Structure 1
Amino acid sequence: MSVYQIGEIVSLLFMAIALGMDAFSVSLGMGMQQVRLKRIALIGLIIGLFHIIMPFIGILLGQAISTQIGQFTTLIGGLLLVGIGAQMVFSAFNHDTKKIVQPVGIGLLFFAISVSLDSFSVGLSLGMSGVKTMIALMLFGIVSTVLTWAGMILGKKVHGLLGVYSEILGGSILCGFGLNILFG
């Protein structure tokens, strides 16, 4: 392996960590809900899978799609996170309402898509640069899975310390992260 190849892998690893930090931050908030370890394992695997699928689609379409699409996906991801977070905060105050977005079924798909949309944009740019696709995708998937697990487990621990206020904090984290995506 040449120094250039090692440098490329290290660069891709740092990119994977940067993309996975979205999943970590959002999972921290989502982990504050009463989520079982079995569900945490599944959520991490699904998010890891989406961190492989989304950049792969982006890489495939990288040379055919303009950069305006990347900004559109960022907007959608930010709005989804704000919506999920706001719903968590409102449901903490109104105990009669059922949670609309939970990390199961369609809620899990929305959750996975919202944290992996930025990897689609990265995939677009990687598709134009001719990077080693398989290495990039594997790193993106593995790192985001591990960071999701870490965020959800840490969120679960914080929930035990904060009790009923943890859902408000978790929703606030999701809203803040979504607003950061939209305006940061």
Structure 2
Amino acid sequence: MTPVALVLLAFSMSADAFAASISKGAELRRPRFRHAVGIGLVFGVVEAITPLLGWAAGVASQRFVQAWDHWVAFALLTAIGAHMVYAGLNKEEKIGHRRQTLWLLILTATATSLDAMAVGASLAFIDVDIVTTSLAIGLATTLMASIGTVLGHRLGRFVGHWAELIGGVVLIGIGCAVLAEHTGVFS
């Protein structure tokens, strides 16, 4: 995976967390810097772990799908990207003012990182350094969730939908690039 593709993947994986952190920031009304970084770290750590779990599952099943690995990667990335686009276009986000708890934050971070687990599984079928990729995803997510928390009380629902939509389009593009590279379209 090229450095540009890695950066695009990392930031596209952070789109769900960014959207969720905007909601968290709106719930806090005036998030302080330490709150934003704390929320960002929870999202980032969870988002860095889930691709590793998905990759491990993908490696375990790799011998069964070796001949179709590029199609599997393409299908998973495209499906996840399409789901993110759909969610970005159709989400009705409810911004309320409920009390934040660590468990609710971890649950939200886990829910937004399931797509990263599926991406991790798809990355097992291509030549990728999963540790570097997971760290990049975690770092990008920490950054974007921290920014989203700070911006949440000002931008509300509007930005969250666009972030998820753009992240989905990027994932679809990466899936198409994997397929094109392995089928020799650009050779």
> What TM-score, normalized by structure 2, do the two folds share?
0.62
| Residues 69-120 of structure 1, C-alpha deviations (whole Å, 9 max, x = no match) | x779x79xx7xxx79x55x5xx66xxxxxx3xx5422101111112211101
Q: Is the 8 A contact 1:58 1:120 kept in 2?
A: yes
More off after superposition, 17-26 vs 54-63 = 17-26
Counterparts of 1:48 and 1:127, CA distance in 2: 21
Alignment partner, residue 20 of structure 1? 14
Structure 2 distance, partners of 1:105, 1:24, is: 17
Q: Is contact 1:48-1:144 (8 Å) kept?
A: yes
Indicate whether 1:126 and 2:123 are aligned. yes
The one-letter amino acid of 2:122's match is S
Unaligned residue ranges in structure 2 (runs of 5+): 66-71, 169-187
CA-to-aligned-CA distance 1:15-71 (integer Å, 9 cap, x gap): 11111122112211221112443222111011110111100100011144697xx77
CA contact (8 A) 2:21 2:152 kept: yes
Q: Does the CA contact (< 8 Å) of 2:45 and 2:138 recur in 1?
A: yes
1:33 alignment partner, SS class: helix
Amino acid at match of 2:25: G
- How far apart, in 2, do the equivalents of 1:117 and 1:131 lie? 19
Report the CA distance shift for 1:64/1:142 in structure 2 as closer, same or farther (over 3 A).
Answer: same
In 2, the alpha carbon distance for the partners of 1:114 and 1:49 equals 13
* Equivalence for 2:172: none
* Deviation, structure 1 residue 155: 1.1
SS at match of 1:155: helix
Cα offsets for 1:125-173 (capped at 9, x unmatched) = 01122311121011101111101111111113x17xxxxxx6xx59xx6
TM-score by length of 1: 0.63
Mapping of residues 171-182 of structure 1, within 5 Å: none
Quick check: 1:60 aligned with 2:56?
yes
| In 2, Cα distance between equivalents of 1:32 and 1:113 | 20
**5+ long unaligned stretches in structure 1:** 1-6, 93-98, 160-165
C-alpha change, 1:36 and 1:134, in structure 2 (3 Å) is same
Matched, 1:115 2:109: no
**SS of 1:31's equivalent?**
helix
How many equivalent pairs are there?
143
**Do the aligned partners of 1:103 and 1:111 also contact (CA within 8 Å) in 2?**
no
Q: In the alignment, does 2:136 pair up with 1:139?
A: yes
Mapping for residues 22-101 of structure 1, pairs under 5 Å: 22-34=16-28, 35-64=31-60, 85-86=93-94, 88=95, 99=98
Does the CA-based 8 Å contact 1:43-1:103 persist in structure 2?
no
